[in-house]
Amino acid sequence: MRVSQKSWPLKQPLKFAFAELHSIDVLTVELDSGAARGRGEGIGVFFHGDNPEKGAIELAAFEKGFGSQVAVEAALGGLKSYAARNALDCALWDLRCKEASTSIHEMIGAPAGTIQTFQTISLDAPGAMAAAAEKVTGPRLKLKVDAPRIVDQVRAVRQVRGDAILMADANQDLSFERLREVAPALAKLNLIMLEQPLTAGEDADLAGFQSPIPLCADESCFTVSALEGLAGLYDAVNIKLDKTGGLTGALALLAEARRLGFDVLVGCMAGTSLSMAPALALATMCDFADLDGPLLLADDYDNAARYVDGTVYPPPKEFWG
């Protein structure tokens, strides 16, 4: 096993309700069986105190016991770092695919093909967000919004992009009172979904609320264990492999979300095409995709995913899966 870390600069700062990012730090895991090599990338969940550095330290402590694939699989459940679990799990999937000469789509039973992704508009003043939206050629836009300006931000973008499918992400910035106040106006602006309006843990405030726009849980939904408590409160859940601990956990969350009647958005913590590749395979079984991470970066891997006007062409299986 080889573990490495790298910082990938963003083209421009990515702002949202509680943070501003200038680069994305990643943890990369490579597994070599002698016959094949598998790779995976994890970023972690920084708002839970996790990052690639912590993941690398934890993997180093486990590494001596990683003598076989069986040992690696057994160790996954004991890892606390989201970044470490995601990178290691996805490296295992890639290794299995290459050893079996089978695509990831065949292995997980997912349709192959392109997907349509939302493209992110960073949090800013309404006019600046509208200007940014005018430059995006794809039809699906995800707006990073905040509580005081949310209606003005969505309205400004809608005025210049009447053609676009708009989703907004509040990143926990709204109170329930503010949500109730702005929801009718957002519905009139044809917003198709509002992601994580309330602080995680305050989800019960939504009980009985008949929202005129669909609500999606993100920070409130990490793994299968969270879903029962979100049923009846949210219409959709956002699956991110860094939250679920890799593709294995994401597949389990998708299955249970479908059983409970949720729509499913597959998202990301930004990242390179190595982060996107397993999520792109999952996306063909989901309702929405927010997998524009590489578009936010100043650079990406060679032979990576291709983005054309919001359509994503997955990287070749030689790259991953």
Annotated binding site for Mg(2+): 169, 195, 218
Of the residues 15, 64, 80, 144, only one is catalytic, namely 144
For residues 124 and 95, state if they share a domain: no
Specify if 106 maps to a domain.
no
Q: Tokens in use for 76?
A: 């996954």
Annotated binding site: 169, 195, 218
CATH number at residue 38: 3.30.390.10
For residues 39 and 130, state if they share a domain: no
pLDDT at 66: 62
Q: Quick check: 39 and 91 in contact, CB under 8 A? A: yes
CB burial string 73-82: b at 16+ within 10 A, e below = eebbeebebb
For residues 158 and 251, state if they share a domain: yes
At which of 56, 76, 101 does a domain end? 101
For residues 65 and 120, state if they share a domain: no
Distances (CA, A) of 97 to 12, 107, 112: 35, 7, 15
What is the span of the domain harbouring residue 244? 115-313
Strand 37-42's sheet: what is its strand order?
Answer: 2-16, 19-32, 37-42
Which amino acid is present at 141? L
For residues 238 and 299, state if they share a domain: yes
CATH number at residue 160: 3.20.20.120
Of the residues 98, 240, 243, 317, only one is catalytic, namely 240
For residues 212 and 292, state if they share a domain: yes
pLDDT at 64: 62
Q: In order along the chain (321 residues), what is the average pLDDT of each group of 10 residues?
A: 96 89 96 94 92 94 67 79 97 97 98 98 98 98 98 99 98 98 99 98 97 98 95 98 97 98 97 98 99 97 96 96 94
pLDDT at 73: 74
pLDDT at 95: 97
pLDDT at 164: 98
Catalytic (active site) residue 144: yes
Compute the distance between CA of residue 181 and CA of residue 169 in angstroms, rounded to an integer: 17
At which of 41, 70, 101 does a domain end? 101
Q: Per the structure, how many domains does the chain have?
A: 2
For residues 245 and 170, state if they share a domain: yes
Specify if 40 maps to a domain.
yes
